[in-house]
Chain A
Amino acid sequence: MLRIRKQATKRDVLGFRLSMLTHEEPTLDISDITVIDPDNTYYMRMGSEAMTGYHIGLNHVLVIDRSLAPVPGSIVVFYHEADFYTREYWPENNRLLLRADSFKETLIIEDLQHWVCWGVVTLTLNPVIHPSQRIGRYSRVCAC
């Protein structure tokens, strides 16, 4: 299971020990607020610029929760005609709009039987590290 693991290593402090150590609290862990249901969370990558208007750019990592049911306005990942898509879920009378930035990229599903929601996108990861700093261990920032 892909999860955000704590990278910090606990080391034994030898010699002088701060009295404050007795007040130690668990350190902040980003997965507490990004992965709510780890057993049902999956990751995918955005492979197009169809959703830049929704702040989902090319190569952003998508955090997808399968246990959520989509509501109008949700960003969903779905499978349609042999491809996975990321779009905004917008049901209308007798049809379903899966909206993107442009109408050309929007999918209209007339027959709901041919549409399966794969999961709801809860979060996207947008790496903003400067290209010149993408070296060594920093080359792993959102790299996939």
Chain B
Amino acid sequence: MFAHVDINNCYVSCETLFQPHLKGRVVVVLSNNDGCVIARSNEAKAIGIKMADAEFIVRKNLAEHQAAIFSSNYALYADMSARMMNNLARYTYMLMVYSIDEAFMALGNMAGIDLETYASMVSRNVMRDTGLSITLGIGPTLSLAKLANKAAKKHGRAVLVLDTKEKIDTETRTFPIEDVWGVGQAYYQKLQEFQIQTAEDFRQLAPDFVRQHMTVQGWRLHQELWGIPCNVIKDVAERSKGIESSQSFNTYQTELEKIEEATAMHAATIAVKLRQQNSMAMLLTIYLRTNKHNVKHDQHYPSITVKVPFATNSTQELTKICIQALRAIWQPGYNYLKTGIRATGIIPAGEVQFNLFKDYDNTKQQKLSGIIDDINARYGRGALRIAAEGYEKSWAMKQEFLSKQYTTNWNDIIVTK
């Protein structure tokens, strides 16, 4: 049996943990640059605030309900997520962290233990220890566990166990097919053609028919919904095949110098992520975006992909290459709103292919990057950085409603009376 666990209204819950007076009020968390709503309290959902609503569209509605608005405080959310995952790991022999607020737990056979009681105990203890409420869905496969979790939320329950054929049949009969894990927009449209509305409708299809129309992925999902495990819990994080860092500017940027600073910052972020997973990148895509919603402005969406001479994860080298590439695509006269870098062709750090015609000595770069990482681990992210990233960062994203970093910054810890 498997459990799928997620934190209810994760970002909002993290904010209200340290500001309990906001419980029961309309609370929303905005995306980077305070652009869209990415988390909502139940009260915010009740007044019609939708996921990904633009802030300027719902501003009036939020003001009318005296909503508490927060900018994304990822330092806080990441810390609370880590605490949550470490707590969950106490109740399983294998935990797979699926996202910042979701995880799968392997529960084994649990002979003689009532799963409902066990899950309720986990929910209670986690709430006590972290202050964050969770929902648990339990099923014989990962897909059914995830389905159970969503169904639990629909029924307003903290725990839902699908451990018998009858319970699975009952839930799948009314469960919308578009909410099934793994059914994206493309599969949904295909299934609509065959009048498939619920998970049960999908289960009733012949396996060969599913395989023919939805490849092996669809077939696996079909098997899983019948209780036959096809996906496994991976307790070792896989290497990312692509790493991206991007951000909108707080205002339109026309100067190359400012965009270079942002590009250098993204290059540094990617370099750190590569080093964290002990890998190197061979391909870098640098892109620029104007605001497609502003019809008064000329539009320009250039991008360029460069192959590096040697796969690298050095902050200095990546920054140098990315800035050179940026200069090749930047054009004056455009109001750029966003820049980003995507690293692909990612290989393990020990598998660099040498070049017959070019010397390769990475020792100095590795040492330097290691020192930068050590200093930043001790004194905080960005304490030591390459000058190309700039000092003032006047282009940095808008975070007007940022709460304090209660758990990661000594200057921000709460003062009690």
Taking beta carbons and an 8 Å cutoff, which residues of A are in contact with B?
1-2, 5, 37, 39-40, 42-48, 50, 61-62, 66-67, 69, 77, 79, 82-86, 116, 118, 143-144
Residue among B20, B406, B415 with max Cβ neighbours from chain A (10 Å): B415
Query: Do B416 and A40 touch across chains, with their CB atoms under 8 A apart?
Result: no
| Total interface residues in chain B, CB < 8 Å | 22
Residue of B nearest to A83 (CB): B417
Assess the B129–A67 pair: CB atoms within 8 A: yes
Chain B window 402-417, contacts with chain A (Cβ cutoff 8 Å), 1 for yes, 0 for no: 0000111011011111
**Is there contact, CB below 8 Å, between A77 and B83?**
no
State A62–B406 Cα separation when bound (angstroms).
13
Known A-B contacts A44-B416, A46-B416, A47-B417; the reply to A39 vs B129 at CB < 8 A is yes
B86 contact set on A, CB distance < 8 A: 39
In the bound assembly, the distance between CA atoms of A76 and B281 in angstroms comes to: 50
Q: What's the Cα separation between A5 and B415 when bound, in Å? A: 23
Are A45 and B414 interface neighbours, CB within 8 A? yes
Given contacts A42-B407, A83-B417, A86-B417, contact A1 B130 (CB under 8 A): no
| Pairs across A and B, CB under 8 Å, 13 listed | A1-B83, A1-B408, A2-B410, A39-B82, A39-B129, A40-B130, A44-B415, A62-B416, A66-B130, A82-B21, A84-B416, A86-B416, A118-B131
* Chain A residues within 8 Å of B79, by CB: 1
Closest to B410 in A: A144
Residues of B within 8 A of A144 (CB): 410-411, 413
- Contact of A2 with B20 in the complex, beta carbons under 8 Å: no
Inter-chain contacts of B130 with A (CB < 8 A): 39-40, 66
Measured CB to CB, the residues of B under 8 A from A are: 20-21, 79, 82-83, 86-87, 128-131, 378, 406-408, 410-411, 413-417
- State in angstroms the CA–CA spacing of A69 and B125 once bound together: 11
Q: Shortest CB–CB separation between residue B228 and chain A, in angstroms?
A: 35
A74 CB, nearest partner CB in chain B, Å: 15
Q: Would you call the interface of chain B mostly helix, strand, loop, or mixed?
A: helix
**What separation, in Å, do the CA atoms of A42 and B79 have in the docked complex?**
11
| A39 nearest in chain B by CB position | B86
Nearest B-chain residue to A1, judged by Cβ? B79
Q: Is the CB of A116 within 8 A of B20?
A: yes
B21 CB contacts on chain A under 8 angstroms: 79, 82
**Ordered nearest first, which 8 A-B pairs have the shortest CB separation?**
A47-B415, A144-B410, A39-B86, A84-B416, A86-B416, A40-B129, A67-B129, A44-B414
Residues of B near A44 (CB, < 8 A) are: 413-416
> Is A77 a contact of B87 with CB atoms below 8 Å?
no
Q: How far is the CA of A71 from the CA of B79 in the complex (A)?
A: 28
User: Within 8 Å CB of A5, what residues of B?
Assistant: 378
Contacts of A40 in B (CB 8 A): 83, 87, 129-130
User: For B21, B410, B413, B416, which residue has the most chain A Cβ atoms within 10 angstroms?
Assistant: B416
Q: How far is the CB of A96 from chain B (nearest CB, A)?
A: 17
Residues of the A chain whose Cβ atoms lie less than 8 Å from the Cβ of B128:
66-67, 69
Residues in B neighbouring A85, C-beta threshold 8 A: 416-417
CB proximity of B352 to chain A, nearest CB, Å? 26
- Chain B neighbourhood of A69, CB < 8 A: 128
Residues of chain A contacted by B131 (CB below 8 angstroms): 66, 118
Min C-beta distance of A31 to chain B, whole Å: 15
Please report the C-alpha to C-alpha distance between residue A43 and residue B131 in the assembled complex, in whole angstroms.
15
Given A44-B416, A118-B131, output 7 extra A-B contacts at Cβ < 8 Å.
A1-B82, A47-B415, A67-B129, A79-B21, A85-B416, A85-B417, A118-B20
Nearest CB on A from B79, distance (A): 5
Which chain B residue has the least Cβ–Cβ distance from A78? B416
Residues of B within 8 A of A116 (CB): 20
A50–B414 Cα distance when bound, in Å, is 16
B416 and A43 contacting across the interface, CB-CB below 8 Å: no
Residues of A within 8 A of B408 (CB): 1-2
How long is the Cα–Cα vector from A48 to B415 in the complex, in angstroms?
9
User: What is the CA–CA distance of A43 and B21 in the complex, to the nearest angstrom?
Assistant: 20
* Residue numbers in A under 8 Å from B82 (CB-CB): 1, 39
- Residues of B within 8 Å of A39, CB to CB, are 82-83, 86-87, 129-130
What CA separation (Å) do A46 and B20 show in the bound complex?
A: 19
A2/B417 in contact, CB under 8 A: no
